[in-house]
Chain A
Amino acid sequence: MSLATIRAMQLADSGFPSGVFAYSWGLESALAEGQVCKRSLADWVALDLRTRWHRFDRIALAGGFRLTGEALSGWFETVDALMPVETQRRDSAQAGDALFASARALRIAMDPGALAAQAAGVGHFAVAHGVFLRACGLDLGTALETSALSLARGAFSAAVRLGVAGAITTQRDLLALAPLIAELAIAPDAQDLPSGAMLLPDVALMRPRQGRLFIN
């Protein structure tokens, strides 16, 4: 087994501290409003991977992975500008803050361009994740696979904690989604821009709701 594979396994593990366990990225609202149920949960996660992750997070992460210095700070600003919803920008920056805190505690050096973006309040998670995974020694392909797997695992974990799915059933669903993750985790072109408007997941993220267990 290669060192990069071992590192990827560690970084995609649910026990890795990066704060993402407290985010459902719209799933909590969607479940509460009946847009998704336990029978359609795997379809929801697949939709999230095909839309929000593939069109937005994948490209944001790749930019964070590839760029350095001022160009990287500019990429954080670009990603910030491409998030149309204020709550989404806030939650993404808060999740990024947790990843920066994890990097500081682990003494993993983040690029100065990323640190400047965080200080400016635009240290968005997806971009910071690219910076972080590069600093951990992953190649871009493995970083994208790690990110996609983490999103799917995180959504299923949220569903388990919300009591709508079992921990074993969701592992079965995750196994079934592995080919889709492999298919989607392809490096974007360098000139690609993240694209917003993911319909159901974005609408669920925007819906205000009292009595939330998750940050979003």
Chain B
Amino acid sequence: MTAARVGIGGPVGSGKTALIEAILPLLAEVGIDTAVITNDLVTDEDAERLRKGGQLAPDRVRAVQAGACPHTVIREDPTLNMAAADRLETDFPGLDLILIESGGDNLASTFSPDLVDYWMFVIDVAGGDDIPRKKGPGILQANLLVINKADLAPHVGVDFPNMLAEATAVRGGGAVLPAICRKGSGIAEVVAHLRREVLFK
């Protein structure tokens, strides 16, 4: 098994699926052979959305249901996701990258190092500018924190530069990138970060 396995976690509605939709074309442009596993809580809606998006062949998007526990399937018992990733690598030899999208969860969710090589946590400004100050393990321990929907800041009373600075401070200088996934803003930086830190290509 040689593909890099990258987790994407974050609260419900923060933009995890939108981030995947945005980075897939850029990954394809530079020849990164990619597949995706989604962990929807109740339905396979995220997987279906990615399949219908047409950026990957439908069979490269696999759904794993989480048994009412989105954090369990990525942390305490990641074996279903491990099996799905192993199966993808068997079905598509030469894969470079498997993105594993967690079901929406709270700020305490983290990915097991048994499952992923690297993981991102996605929050959005509409969730409130106090999220970085709450210092959940997702905020603090993720390899990369993405703050999405930056364009909504003025509409929800958020001082975005201050939120970005606080997020960087609580992470001790760990990587934080702003993004507007729906508009493609900041996406090139996320892909460049993944290529530099994880894919080495």
Contacts and interface: CB of A to CB of B under 8 A. Distances in A.
A21 B77 contact: yes
Given A211-B43, A213-B41, A213-B42, A97 B65 contact: no
Interface string A19-43: 1011110000000000000000000
Interface residues of A, number: 26
Given A18-B77, A105-B114, A161 B69 contact: yes
Contacts, number: 73
User: Chain B: interface secondary structure?
Assistant: loop
Given A21-B77, A22-B80, A213 B86 contact: no
Contacts of B64: 22
A102 B87 CA distance: 14
Given A17-B76, A18-B77, A211-B43, A97 B67 contact: no
A105 to B, nearest CB: 6
B68 A213 contact: yes
Among A22, A100, A158, A214, which residue has the most Cβ atoms of chain B within 10 A?
A: A22
Contact of A98 (B41, B68, B79): B79
Contacts of A210: 43
A136 to B, nearest CB: 15
A105 B79 CA distance: 9
A23 B87 CA distance: 19
Given A21-B72, A99-B79, A213-B66, 11 more contacts: A17-B78, A18-B79, A22-B67, A22-B72, A24-B67, A102-B79, A105-B114, A158-B67, A212-B42, A213-B65, A214-B65
Interface of B: 41-43, 64-69, 72-73, 76-80, 82-84, 86-87, 114
Interface of A: 15, 17-19, 21-24, 94, 97-102, 104-105, 158, 161-162, 210-215
User: 3 smallest A-B Cβ distances: which pairs?
Assistant: A22-B67, A97-B83, A101-B83
11 contacts: A17-B78, A19-B77, A21-B67, A97-B84, A98-B80, A99-B79, A161-B68, A212-B42, A213-B65, A213-B67, A215-B67
